Each structure stands twice: as structure tokens, then as C-alpha cells.
């Protein structure tokens, strides 16, 4: 049975293009221009789904984006709004909220016990016995509403985002919005006009011939205007501080949805009005719909909404619906004038309305009930700008109260008027918007120090002299003498709301939380005003005293895919990473960087460093080039140790603490020249150390002359470690004397390596071996690396990875900030005793450093060896007091040492256990308790440092 009418004068369907799709597995055909819902309705379907709680059958209510009854699954996309989504060929559309089928749904049994399932019933039961609640939860989950994720096919595809900077952004493409856009554009503003539905025009699209023609003219002018960009099928979803505005654009070429972010000078809010349902028993029965739904179905899609209609009208739109119905041959059996107190009491019918009871006592047979009982102002965007709308009893709706200067409202949200009046108000608003926006643009350019001042004069400020739109009186029509649905998505009735109020949930926000009214997918667009009205009635106060809930963003739901956009989480790679990849390195994600963890056998790699020579890429090491006469003052300030007397050509190790005395970073800094230093810091701390140096230099000691340049990526760092490292370097370093006397431990030289000049070489020993760190300009890094390997082949030179380095440094007892120290570790914990100089006049955290050294209760970092050399306690294994559960410390680092053939650890322990030779108990992850002994030094291998000083 087809409900498709003959051609209607304003129809937007293209009857020459048929689109085939399926509805619950059955083949259906619609036309280009149909929504999913209009096509299904045209095919004769009344029931689109089931309600959330009682699983009542539901049909078309509003036939637009906010229709709470038209949520469907389309392929692998859940929760598609059939009321607004354009039909496409091949769509597989199905009902969501049913089990096992739309016609026969077991959940409907809830209707039978509905009287016991009043709002909040679940709070009042299943407390005991306790095991019942988890069982009931399992049942609840089975009935969760909504669509289904198709894990096999669904993934995050291609999405992108766009930024725009319009002077004026107009939200809403009805007569007022288009008027505003045109006037703003005529006044020199760049305008972005955003319309939620498929075409400009707003309510004019389903209006009479004059209205349609007027709308088409305005739309054509907008599209033709050079200063206006039109976005249709796009929704302004949020307004955030400083007019940062989100727009969700549908039907974009590259993705189903695209997020557009606009920084608008002024936003003109012109969303029109949302028609609100009337509350009466059976108001959610299929066949009960709003006047707007009726008019859209008939005029846009040529769908006959029913055969015998009862219309309840409180306004001109309802009256117009009567005309539309009669025109297409629907028998209008009664028109109730709500302005005269005529009203519907209740309707009967399950899959479709069959009878209507009126308040004059009549009962009529009808399959269509149309209500036109008033409007909700969708004030979401105004709310987001801080506005708290106020109820006007005369017009029976809410109006904005106060707006910031960069937001203007126009159209139905501000009052009523003819098409011409709405357009005129829009135009006046557009002029004002352009004035404010151009003044802002002028300010913005002028405020930018490095841009030229605008070549045009700042416009004089214009007063807001707009003539407000009238507020046409409208009856307060909210609820009949019976109870019905207030929230269709959540199955919340007026009876539920009154009960909630009596239980103490007597403010709108409390009531919302208790009953979940307005919490569903339409987020209150249809429900908020009726809910407030019912609450006012329950509390016996005026609507104005109730207030409304705060409308939160987004205005309409947005896919996570569109919000995420193209996920951009880059990984940093050194200039050598391709080589590592090509040579079998296991990748290790370490913070921002990917690094070679090992090339096969880390133990063997470590062993090779101890016996021959190895190369490791340590580029992620933070590197800062410091220049200027006051660098040593800066170093004195930021390190705990002394720096003023470091000679040119020398390097020194330093530790940094924060102002609270907690160890924050460490590294080696070398003096390359009179006014030139190179600082290194941890990889993860590189950014923070750079910013910290700038902070002190700019805000605390602006008189110091120091220039900081981050060179972490610019210099590729290669550590050449092992007893043969000097021999190897001597083969390829041209102009530096590498002999022990000429280039002693903790020195730095600049020279040419493998023909590459301007390399920095310093002799330090994180691994505990004779070693040189070579910092090479990154463009030449691969050449130097390969040359080192080639020249060192006979010396056993091989690369080693991060894991081997960790073994080597632990054998040597070098701690790692953030692993062996934590967020509370002060300098004494790290065992910096001799390094810290408290007699400096100023250093970061000085008072806390002094206080820390007065204390005797801080944990101490120590070297630890398990008494059973085979046992490697897990890092983070707890050190406990014998057999008790009292915690006395933890293992911070542990490895099997290839050099010693036994396990080695660093641990933070209570000071009572810190003395060399103390026996401690370590609790392993498997529950065993093993003993271990505190060592004299952090270093397990070569504590005297003989190997690195050769």
C-alpha cells in the first residue's frame, strides 16, 4: 500500500530517480530527495520502532532531525535519524530497539507491569538479597536501546577537519538567517551561512506558494553573493568561549561527517523554533504527530500521513496543516481550536490510532491526530554563550535574556512575524553583526605586533536599534486532563514527573536526574518545556519560577569519527632509524620517539660493549645549545652543583631539582667555547627543560644574556662505547688528539668525524666503559654511523640497543630520573650527597634542598644484590619488613648482569636499611620472599671507574 501522493507543488523529491533500499530485510523504493523516514512512510509503514522502556510501538512524530521515534540502524551505522537522513540507494535500514522483531517484541511485556516501573523504581528494589542486583543488571543490559556496532566492518576511516574564520557566522538558513547573511555580506563581512537541513529556506520550504517563492529568492541571493559561503546539511553544534564554534558538516566528499571549527567575529543564531508535542494519554501512539510533521510529509515528500484526521490547533501552523490535509484528500473529522479550550483527552490504538476522545465528550474514529500546541525555542547555542532564557507566559515560550556582544539572535527564537518581518529583522541583525565583526577584525589585526595595521578605518560602533519582533500571544497548552509521554526517547510520562516532584525531586535539575527526562537523544528539544510545565503544575508555581535545564553541547550529536578527525600522533625518528629498521632492530616506543630496543640479543650486545666496541643511537637525548656571556650563571641556577669554574673543553654532570626540591632531570653539559655550551638532558624531559630555561631567563633574570636553541633533532648522537672505542675513533677523527692525556675523561672536543666537520665529541661513560659521544649534524649522521661500523669491523664494532644500554648503565649503577627516582624523590634520595652545593646564593629549590639535607627519614637509593644470584626481582617489587606486609622500599631497576653473571638492582630503601651490608627482604611478584644485600656502591661493575678512565 503506497501512501505517496500525486506531485505536490513544493515537493523536493525527484520522481525520475528511484532509490532501492531495504527496510528490515524487505525491498523498498523511494525517490531522490526522500529521507529514510519519508520513503518508508510512503511505502505504507506506520510503526518504525519500539520505545526504550515499555517497548511501545512508535511512529512518526516530528518527521525531522529531532524525531525521537525514528532511530534506525543503517548498515554498520547505529542510531541514524531517519527523520533527517537523506535516502541513498542500497541502504540496509533496520529497526533498532526490538527483540526478537518489530511486530512481536518481548520487551513489550514491560507495558503490563508498567504501573510498578514508575520513574526511579530501580532505586527502590534489588537491595537484598545482594546477589539479585547483578543478575537483574544482566537482564537490563539485554534491553539496552540503540543500535549495534559491527566490529567486523566498522573502523575509523578517513576524516578531516576544516578551520574557518568568518566575520559573521549565521546558524540557520530560514528567512531571518538568510536576511542576516545577506545584510552582513552587503556590509562587507565575510559570512558563513549554516543550515541544518538539505536546503536553505527553513519553514518556508513547506509553506504556501508565496512563502516558497520568497525562500527560493533569498536562497538564490545567498548562493550568488561573493561574501557568503553556504553550508547545507550542516549543523552548528557548539559555541564555546571566545566564539569558537563547531559545525558538523554531513555529506562531505571525503567523509560521512566533517568537523568544521570556526572562530567567528559574531555569531547570528537563527535556528527557528521546534514544535512541541501535547501531553495526553496515548500521545505516543503511531498516527499522533505534530503539525510540522504533517506539513513536511505532504509538502516536501508527497506522503499522505493518514486518512481520517483530528487536528488540535493553537496557532496558524495548525490551521495551515488543516488546509494541507484537506488539499490532499485527508478527511478532517474534527478541528479543535485550542485557543478556545478545545482539546484532546486521549487516544486509543496500538499500532495506529483508532479512536480519539475529545474534551467535549465526543469519541471519534480517526487514524491521524495532528497537534499544533506551540513552540520550544531551541536556545542551546545561546545557553552555551551564558544566556539563561526566561519564560514568557503570554507567548508560552522562553526568550533569551542577555547575550554577549559577539552573539546576536534573530528569527523565531526572538519573536513572531510574517516572512517579510522575519527577513527584515534578520537583515537588521546582519547589519549590526557586520559592524561588530569588522570592529573585532580591525582590533585583531592591530593587536598583532608583526602585522601591518589595517588599511581601513575601524567602523564606529553601531547601537542596537533593531525593532524587536512581536511576541504573538499563544495559549499555554502543555497537558490535557490525562497523563501522557513527556519524553518519548526515555519513556517518561507526566505522571512520573509529578511523582518525582512529590518525592523531593522538585527542582528541574533534580527531576531530570531522577526521571532521566530530557536526557535522551533529542536532549530536551521536544521535552524541556513540557517537563517544566508539568513540574510547575506539580509544585503549584508559575513556569517562570521553574527555570529550565542548562542545554549542553553539542546541539546535535556528532560521530566520534568526525570529532577525532585525522588522528595525528606522530612518532619522532632519528636520522638513523631507517637504518635500524633495515638491520633488524626491534622497535621500542619511548615517549615521542621510536628507538632500537635491540638487534637480536641484548645480552650479547652488552657483552660486546664490555669487551670490544659498540655503537648506540642516543639521538633522543635532549640537547640545548646555549650561547652568551651569562650561561654559567644560568647553570648555577638550574643545577644543584657548581658551574662557574668549568674550563673550556670540559664537561660536567649535573642534576636539576624543581622548586620543591624533587629531582627533575639530569645530564651532562659541556663548555665548547668562552660563550658556547651544549647541555644535554633526558629524552622525556627535553621539552620541559628547554621551556624551564626560557622561563627563568625571561621572567626571572631577563638581564642575563643567554640564547637557548634546541638541537635535539639537529644533532644525531652516537655513543661509541667499549675498550676499542678510542682505536676506532682514531681511524676516522681527523683533527682531534684522542690520546688519554690530550682528551681526558669528562672533556669535550670539536672536530671532523669521517670527513664531517663541526662534530662535537665528548668523553663520558654512561655504560661505564671508555666511551665517546659523537654529536653529528643530522644530515651526515648515516654516513658517520656506517663509516664507524665499517672502520670498526675488525674491532668487533656492532650496534647495540636501548636494552643493552639499560643493562650496562645498571651494572654501572647510573640511575634514571623518573625510574629510580619518583615524584617525591629529593636530592638526598638520589644519593647526590657530594654533588649538591648548598652554599650558593641562589639555585632552584634551594630552601627545600637545605631542608632535605636536615632530614634523616628520606628513602635512599642503593645498589642491591639478591643473595640468590639467579633471582631477578621484578622492577617495582616491594621491599618488606621480613615476613610482615610493612613496606620499606622497592626495587627500581633490575637486570641479569652478563658481566657479573648475576642479578643486579637499584632500590629505594628506608634509611634504616641503607647501610652497606644491610639485609633486606624482597617480595617477588609470585609471592616468594627472598633476601638481598645492600651494596656499598650504586655501581656493581667497576665502582672505582677504572675502565672509563683509561
The kind and range of the H/E element at 284 are: none
Burial of 643 (0-12, 13-18, 19+ CB in 10 A): buried
Q: Does 606 bind other proteins (CB under 8 A)?
A: no
Q: For strand 168-171 and strand 191-194, is the pairing parallel, antiparallel, or unpaired? A: parallel
Backbone angles phi, psi at 375, to 5 degrees: -130, 150
Give yes or no for a cis peptide into 835 (omega within 30° of 0). no
Residue from 797, 755, 751, 791 nearest 774 by CA: 751
Nearest approach in angstroms of CB 756 to other proteins is 30
Cα(256)–Cα(254) distance, rounded to whole angstroms? 7
Give the interface segment with other proteins, choosing from 86-94, 649-657, 664-672, 871-879 (CB under 8 A).
871-879
Q: Does 560 bind other proteins (CB under 8 A)?
A: yes
Residue from 578, 673, 572, 683 nearest 624 by CA: 683
Burial of 131 (0-12, 13-18, 19+ CB in 10 A): exposed
DSSP code string of 665-706: EEEEEEEEETTEEEEEE-TTTHHHHHHHHHHIIIII-TTS--
Cα(264)–Cα(220) distance, rounded to whole angstroms? 24
Q: Does 452 bind other proteins (CB under 8 A)?
A: no
Nearest approach in angstroms of CB 238 to other proteins is 6
State which residue, 212 or 444, has the beta carbon closest to other proteins: 444
Give the interface segment with other proteins, choosing from 10-18, 139-147, 213-221, 418-426 (CB under 8 A).
139-147
Cα(776)–Cα(76) distance, rounded to whole angstroms? 52
Give the interface segment with other proteins, choosing from 111-119, 364-372, 421-429, 730-738 (CB under 8 A).
111-119
Question: Which residues does 653 contact at the CB level (< 8 Å), separation at least 6?
Answer: 666, 667, 668, 746, 764, 835
Nearest approach in angstroms of CB 857 to other proteins is 9
Q: Does 557 bind other proteins (CB under 8 A)?
A: yes
Nearest approach in angstroms of CB 868 to other proteins is 19
State which residue, 550 or 790, has the beta carbon closest to other proteins: 550
For residue 284, count other CB atoms closer than 10 A to its CB. 22
Q: Does 786 bind other proteins (CB under 8 A)?
A: no
Decide if 681 contacts 689 (C-beta within 8 A). Answer: yes
Q: Does 106 bind other proteins (CB under 8 A)?
A: no
Binder among 273, 781, 827, 877 for other proteins (CB under 8 A): 877
Q: Which of residues 384-423 bind other proteins (CB under 8 A)?
A: 384, 386, 404-406
Decide if 180 contacts 268 (C-beta within 8 A). Answer: yes
Binder among 571, 900, 915, 950 for other proteins (CB under 8 A): 571
End-to-end CA distance of the chain: 97
Nearest approach in angstroms of CB 235 to other proteins is 12
Please name the residue that has the C-alpha cell 499500532: 351
Q: Does 467 bind other proteins (CB under 8 A)?
A: no
Q: Which of residues 883-902 bind other proteins (CB under 8 A)?
A: 885, 887, 890
Integer angstrom CA distances of residue 540 from 279, 377, 389, 532, 797: 18, 24, 21, 12, 89
Q: Does 837 bind other proteins (CB under 8 A)?
A: no
What is the chain's length?
950
Interface pattern 331-370 for other proteins (x via CB under 8 A): ----------------------------------------
Give the interface segment with other proteins, choosing from 31-39, 218-226, 460-468, 691-699 (CB under 8 A).
691-699
Q: Which of residues 304-333 bind other proteins (CB under 8 A)?
A: none
Q: Does 470 bind other proteins (CB under 8 A)?
A: no
Nearest approach in angstroms of CB 844 to other proteins is 8
Residue from 637, 680, 908, 938 nearest 812 by CA: 938
Cell numbers linked to 503:
518525592
Among positive and negative, which fits the CA dihedral 193, 194, 199, 203? negative
Binder among 454, 848, 918, 949 for other proteins (CB under 8 A): 848
Q: Does 450 bind other proteins (CB under 8 A)?
A: yes
Nearest approach in angstroms of CB 718 to other proteins is 23
Q: Does 851 bind other proteins (CB under 8 A)?
A: yes
Query: What ranges make up the beta strands (E) of 165-263?
Result: 168-171, 191-194, 228-231, 234-240, 244-252, 255-263
State which residue, 73 or 530, has the beta carbon closest to other proteins: 73
Return contacts of 911-916, CB within 8 angstroms, 24+ apart.
911/856, 911/857, 911/858, 911/859, 911/860, 912/888, 913/862, 913/879, 913/888, 913/889, 914/860, 914/862
Q: Which of residues 623-682 bind other proteins (CB under 8 A)?
A: 659-660
Angle at 840 between CA 674 and CA 936, to 5 degrees: 95
State which residue, 316 or 571, has the beta carbon closest to other proteins: 571
Give yes or no for a cis peptide into 49 (omega within 30° of 0). no
Binder among 589, 740, 790, 915 for other proteins (CB under 8 A): 589
Give the interface segment with other proteins, choosing from 269-277, 628-636, 743-751, 843-851 (CB under 8 A).
843-851
Nearest approach in angstroms of CB 140 to other proteins is 4
Give the interface segment with other proteins, choosing from 172-180, 477-485, 496-504, 725-733 (CB under 8 A).
496-504
State which residue, 334 or 657, has the beta carbon closest to other proteins: 657
Q: Which of residues 915-944 bind other proteins (CB under 8 A)?
A: 923, 925
Residues contacting other proteins: total by CB under 8 A: 123
Give yes or no for a cis peptide into 920 (omega within 30° of 0). no
Angle at 558 between CA 553 and CA 564, to 5 degrees: 105
Q: Does 875 bind other proteins (CB under 8 A)?
A: yes
Residue from 717, 704, 697 nearest 623 by CA: 717
Q: Does 880 bind other proteins (CB under 8 A)?
A: yes
Binder among 440, 479, 671, 749 for other proteins (CB under 8 A): 440
State which residue, 272 or 521, has the beta carbon closest to other proteins: 521
Q: Which of residues 797-816 bind other proteins (CB under 8 A)?
A: none
Binder among 32, 118, 221, 705 for other proteins (CB under 8 A): 118
Interface pattern 763-782 for other proteins (x via CB under 8 A): --------------------
Residue 139 CA to its chain's centroid (Å): 32
Q: Which of residues 718-757 bind other proteins (CB under 8 A)?
A: none
Interface pattern 32-61 for other proteins (x via CB under 8 A): ------------------------------
Nearest approach in angstroms of CB 632 to other proteins is 18
Q: Does 251 bind other proteins (CB under 8 A)?
A: no
Q: Which of residues 510-549 bind other proteins (CB under 8 A)?
A: 510, 513-514, 519, 521, 523
Query: What ranges make up the beta strands (E) of 565-644?
Result: 586-590, 593-598, 614-617, 622-627
Cα(755)–Cα(738) distance, rounded to whole angstroms? 16
Q: Does 137 bind other proteins (CB under 8 A)?
A: yes
Coil, strand or helix: which one is 646? coil
Q: Does 112 bind other proteins (CB under 8 A)?
A: no
Q: Does 443 bind other proteins (CB under 8 A)?
A: yes
Nearest approach in angstroms of CB 89 to other proteins is 20
Binder among 116, 226, 361, 463 for other proteins (CB under 8 A): 116
Cα(463)–Cα(134) distance, rounded to whole angstroms? 63
Integer angstrom CA distances of residue 617 from 130, 312, 675: 59, 79, 28
Binder among 242, 455, 461, 856 for other proteins (CB under 8 A): 242
State which residue, 565 or 943, has the beta carbon closest to other proteins: 565
State which residue, 362 or 929, has the beta carbon closest to other proteins: 929
Amino acid at each position: 500500500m503506497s501512501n505517496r501522493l500525486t506531485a505536490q507543488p513544493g515537493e523536493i523529491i525527484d520522481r525520475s530517480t528511484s532509490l532501492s533500499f531495504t527496510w528490515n530485510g524487505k525491498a523498498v523504493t523511494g525517490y531522490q530527495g526522500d529521507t529514510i523516514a519519508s520513503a518508508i512512510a510512503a511505502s505504507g509503514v506506520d510503526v518504525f520502532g519500539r520505545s526504550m522502556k515499555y517497548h511501545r510501538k512508535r511512529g512518526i512524530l516530528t518527521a525531522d532531525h529531532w524525531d525521537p521515534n525514528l532511530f534506525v540502524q543503517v548498515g554498520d551505522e547505529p542510531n541514524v535519524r531517519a527523520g533527517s537522513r537523506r535516502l541513498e540507494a542500497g541502504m540496509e535500514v533496520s529497526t533498532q530497539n526490538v527483540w526478537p522483531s518489530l511486530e512481536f517484541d518481548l520487551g513489550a511485556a514491560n507495558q503490563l507491569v508498567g504501573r510498578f516501573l514508575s520513574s526511579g523504581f530501580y532505586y527502590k528494589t534489588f537491595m537484598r538479597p545482594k546477589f539479585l542486583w547483578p543478575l537483574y543488571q544482566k537482564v537490563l543490559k539485554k534491553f539496552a536501546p540503540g543500535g549495534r556496532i559491527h566490529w567486523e566492518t566498522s573502523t575509523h576511516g578517513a576524516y578531516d577537519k576544516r578551520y574557518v574564520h568568518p566575520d559573521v557566522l549565521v546558524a540557520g538558513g530560514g528567512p531571518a538567517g538568510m536576511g542576516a547573511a545577506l545584510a552582513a555580506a552587503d556590509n562587507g563581512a565575510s559570512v558563513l551561512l549554516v543550515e541544518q537541513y538539505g536546503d536553505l529556506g527553513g519553514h518556508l520550504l513547506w509553506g504556501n506558494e508565496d512563502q516558497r517563492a520568497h525562500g527560493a529568492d533569498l536562497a538564490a541571493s545567498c548562493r550568488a553573493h561573493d561574501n557568503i559561503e553556504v553550508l547545507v546539511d550542516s549543523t552548528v553544534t557548539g559555541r564555546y568561549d571566545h566564539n569558537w564554534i563547531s559545525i558538523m558538516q554531513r555529506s562531505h566528499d571525503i567523509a560521512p561527517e566533517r568537523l568544521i571549527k570556526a572562530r567567528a567575529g559574531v555569531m547570528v543564531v537563527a535556528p527557528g523554533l521546534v514544535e512541541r508535542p501535547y501531553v495526553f494519554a496515548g500521545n505516543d501512539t503511531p498516527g499522533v504527530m505534530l503539525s510540522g510533521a504533517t506539513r513536511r510529509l505532504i509538502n516536501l515528500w508527497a506522503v499522505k500521513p493518514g486518512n481520517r484526521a483530528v487536528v488540535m490547533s493553537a496557532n496558524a501552523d495548525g490551521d495551515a496543516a488543516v488546509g494541507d490535509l484537506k488539499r490532499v484528500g485527508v478527511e478532517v473529522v474534527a478541528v479543535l481550536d485550542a485557543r478556545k479550550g478545545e482539546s484532546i483527552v486521549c487516544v486509543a490504538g496500538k499500532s495506529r490510532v483508532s479512536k480519539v476522545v475529545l474534551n467535549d465528550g465526543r469519541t471519534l474514529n480517526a487514524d491521524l491526530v495532528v497537534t499544533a500546541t506551540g513552540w520550544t525555542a531551541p536556545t542551546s547555542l545561546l545557553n552555551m554563550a551564558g544566556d539563561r532564557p526566561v519564560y514568557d507566559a503570554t507567548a508560552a515560550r522562553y526568550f533569551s535574556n542577555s547575550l554577549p556582544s559577539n552573539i546576536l539572535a534573530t528569527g523565531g527564537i526572538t519573536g513572531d512575524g510574517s516572512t517579510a518581518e522575519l527577513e527584515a529583522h534578520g537583515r537588521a541583525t546582519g547589519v549590526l553583526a557586520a559592524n561588530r565583526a569588522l570592529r573585532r577584525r580591525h582590533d585583531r589585526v592591530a593587536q598583532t605586533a608583526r602585522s601591518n595595521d589595517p588599511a581601513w578605518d575601524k567602523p564606529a560602533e553601531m547601537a542596537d536599534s533593531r525593532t524587536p519582533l512581536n511576541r504573538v500571544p499563544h495559549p499555554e497548552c502543555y497537558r490535557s486532563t490525562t497523563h501522557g509521554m513527556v519524553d518519548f526517547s526515555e519513556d517518561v510520562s507526566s505522571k512520573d514527573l509529578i511523582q518525582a516532584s512529590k518525592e523531593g525531586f522538585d527542582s528541574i535539575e533534580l527531576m531530570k536526574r531522577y526521571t532521566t527526562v530530557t536526557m535522551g537523544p533529542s536532549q530536551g528539544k521536544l521535552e524541556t518545556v513540557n517537563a517544566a510545565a508539568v513540574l510547575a503544575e506539580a509544585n503549584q508555581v508559575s513556569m517562570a519560577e521553574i527555570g529550565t535545564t542548562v542545554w549542553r553541547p553539542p546541539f546535535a550529536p556528532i560521530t566520534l569519527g568526525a570529532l577525532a578527525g585525522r588522528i595525528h600522533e606522530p612518532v619522532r625518528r632519528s636520522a638513523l632509524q631507517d637504518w635500524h629498521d633495515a638491520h633488524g632492530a626491534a622497535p621500542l616506543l619511548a615517549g615521542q620517539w621510536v628507538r632500537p630496543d635491540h638487534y637480536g640479543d641484548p645480552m650479547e650486545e652488552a657483552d660486546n660493549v664490555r669487551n670490544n666496541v659498540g655503537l648506540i643511537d642516543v639521538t633522543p637525548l635532549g640537547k640545548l645549545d646555549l650561547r652568551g656571556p651569562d650561561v654559567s650563571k644560568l647553570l648555577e641556577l638550574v643545577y644543584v652543583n657548581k658551574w662557574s669554574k668549568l674550563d673550556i673543553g670540559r664537561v660536567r654532570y649535573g642534576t636539576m631539582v624543581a622548586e620543591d626540591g624533587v629531582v627533575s632531570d639530569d645530564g651532562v653539559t659541556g663548555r665548547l667555547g668562552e660563550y658556547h655550551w651544549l647541555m644535554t638532558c633526558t629524552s622525556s624531559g627535553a621539552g620541559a627543560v628547554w621551556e624551564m630555561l626560557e622561563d627563568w631567563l625571561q621572567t626571572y633574570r631577563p638581564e642575563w644574556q643567554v640564547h637557548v636553541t634546541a638541537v635535539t633533532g639537529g644533532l644525531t648522537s652516537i655513543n661509541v662505547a667499549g675498550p676499542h672505542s678510542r682505536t676506532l675513533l682514531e681511524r676516522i677523527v681527523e683533527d682531534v688528539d684522542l690520546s688519554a692525556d690530550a682528551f681526558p675523561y669528562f672533556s669535550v672536543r670539536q672536530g671532523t668525524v669521517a670527513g664531517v666537520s663541526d662534530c662535537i665529541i665528548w668523553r663520558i661513560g654512561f655504560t661505564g666503559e671508555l666511551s665517546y659521544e659523537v654529536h653529528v649534524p643530522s644530515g651526515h649522521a648515516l654516513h658517520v654511523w656506517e663509516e664507524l661500523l665499517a672502520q670498526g669491523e675488525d674491532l668487533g664494532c656492532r650496534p647495540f640497543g636501548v636494552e643493552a644500554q639499560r643493562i650496562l648503565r645498571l651494572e654501572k649503577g647510573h640511575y634514571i630520573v623518573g625510574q629510580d627516582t619518583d615524584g617525591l624523590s629529593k636530592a638526598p634520595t638520589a644519593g647526590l650527597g657530594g654533588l649538591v652545593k648548598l652554599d650558593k646564593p641562589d639555585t632552584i629549590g634551594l630552601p627545600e634542598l637545605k631542608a632535605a639535607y636536615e632530614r634523616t627519614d628520606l628513602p635512599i637509593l642503593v645498589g642491591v644484590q639478591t643473595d640468590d644470584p639467579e633471582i631477578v626481582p621484578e622492577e617495582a617489587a616491594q621491599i618488606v619488613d621480613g615476613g610482615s606486609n610493612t613496606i620499606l622500599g622497592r626495587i627500581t631497576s633490575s637486570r641479569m648482569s652478563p658481566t657479573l653473571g648475576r642479578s643486579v638492582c637499584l632500590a629505594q630503601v628506608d634509611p634504616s636499611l641503607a647501610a652497606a651490608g644491610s639485609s633486606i627482604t624482597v617480595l617477588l611478584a609470585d609471592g616468594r620472599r627472598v633476601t638481598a644485600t645492600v651494596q656499598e656502591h650504586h655501581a656493581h661493575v667497576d665502582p672505582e671507574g677504572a675502565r672509563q678512565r683509561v
